Amino acid sequence: AKRDGKNSFQYFDSITKKEVEIASTIRRDLRFALEKGQFFLHYQPIVDARTGKVVSMEALLRWQHPKKGLISPIHFIPIAEETRQIISIGEWVLRTACKQMKEWRNMGYYGFSVSVNVSVHQLQQPDFAKVVFDILNEIELEPRFLELEITETVLIEAMDTVVRNLYRLKEMGVKIIIDDFGTENSSFKYLQKFTVDGLKIDRSFVSEIKVEVNKAIVDAITFLGHRMKLGVTAEGVETKEQLDCLVESGCDKVQGYYFSKPLPPDEAIRMVQKESNY
């Protein structure tokens, strides 16, 4: 038993070493990833729960590392935030997603918007709303085709700069969605202070919706959202069973592997093409 213990300790130890090594590689190489053109975006459709039509495409960041291969955003976004590189990376994401949306618009697709994840660090920049405004102008994309997903942290830490940026963005006609709703130590206070366009229910509630308490939470968020005249989206929908539960709760929009994984733009658009080919 002692030997087993030792072996498993070594095993654990080597995993930890590997993880530490990857983390330091990420830290070292992230600085050059943008200029080396190693980032790209995948798009995951968000679907109207009643009609099944695509209403938005969420842009999700991918990093193709020359040696380590594809690195997940959950591994490098926290580091990018810590080093504030998220500000320039996030601007690249915004511009790239807006350009893609413009291309889809030029192809004749008007029925959906593009959704971009925005970090609190970006929203804390006094000129963030101006950056968005300039990108939309430069690309000649109407603001209503852009939706920003922000997390509750942003609103909890809402200082004047964040609130001012959100206000200007709303005034421009850009839509604001609260992502991962229900996961932070949220108080409802910010909902009182700031108007958003929608709530996105976190995957953790959706994946275990069979568990009574999660169904209750989903029901409550949907009720709250609708009372506030907000659209309610559920993410991470993987099964028909989950979808049925969410529809029963009254969710307006759904997203997840059940419909589509995040895909390169030319593959993501096929789901919309199918709609018109019936």
Binding site for Ca ion (CB under 5 A): 117, 149, 179-180, 235
Tell which one of 45, 143, 225, 262 touches ligand C2E (CB under 6 A). Answer: 262
Tell the smallest beta-carbon distance from residue 5 to ligand C2E (Å). Answer: 33
Q: Is 175 exposed, middle or buried (0-12, 13-18, 19+ CB in 10 A)?
A: buried
Tell which one of 26, 46, 61, 146 touches ligand C2E (CB under 6 A). Answer: 61
Closer to Ca ion by CB, 117 or 242: give it.
Answer: 117
- Residue of minimal CB distance from ligand C2E? 256
User: Distance (Å, rounded) from C-alpha 168 to C-alpha 143?
Assistant: 12
User: Distance (Å, rounded) from C-alpha 68 to C-alpha 50?
Assistant: 41
Tell which one of 47, 57, 77, 176 touches ligand C2E (CB under 6 A). Answer: 77
Give the closest residue to 176 by CA, choosing from 189, 187, 186, 190.
190
90 binds ligand C2E (CB under 6 A): yes
Give the closest residue to 135 by CA, choosing from 171, 90, 198.
90
Q: Which amino acid is it at 107?
A: M
141 binds ligand C2E (CB under 6 A): no
Which of ligand C2E, Ca ion, none is residue 29 near (CB under 5 to 8 Å by kind)?
none
Tell which one of 48, 197, 219, 238 touches ligand C2E (CB under 6 A). Answer: 238
Give the closest residue to 143 by CA, choosing from 107, 108, 105, 190.
105
Which of Ca ion, ligand C2E, none is residue 119 near (CB under 5 to 8 Å by kind)?
ligand C2E
User: 178 is written with which tokens?
Assistant: 């609260």
Tell which one of 7, 24, 72, 137 touches ligand C2E (CB under 6 A). Answer: 72
User: 147 is written with which tokens?
Assistant: 């939706």
132 binds ligand C2E (CB under 6 A): no
In the chain, where do the E strands start and end? 39-48, 54-65, 69-71, 113-117, 146-151, 175-181, 198-201, 231-234, 253-254
Closer to Ca ion by CB, 29 or 149: give it.
Answer: 149
Closer to ligand C2E by CB, 48 or 238: give it.
Answer: 238
272 binds ligand C2E (CB under 6 A): no
User: Distance (Å, rounded) from C-alpha 188 to C-alpha 170?
Assistant: 20
Closer to ligand C2E by CB, 61 or 141: give it.
Answer: 61
Closer to ligand C2E by CB, 100 or 117: give it.
Answer: 117
40 binds ligand C2E (CB under 6 A): no
Closer to ligand C2E by CB, 185 or 277: give it.
Answer: 185
Closer to Ca ion by CB, 25 or 39: give it.
Answer: 39
For 35, 36, 63, the CA distances from 29, given in Å and listed in that order, are: 11, 10, 11
Tell the smallest beta-carbon distance from residue 41 to ligand C2E (Å). Answer: 7
User: Distance (Å, rounded) from C-alpha 59 to C-alpha 264?
Assistant: 10
Q: Strand, coil or helix: what is 32? A: helix
Chain positions contacting ligand C2E, by CB under 6 A: 44, 60-61, 72-74, 77, 86, 90, 93, 117, 119, 179-180, 203, 235-238, 256-257, 262
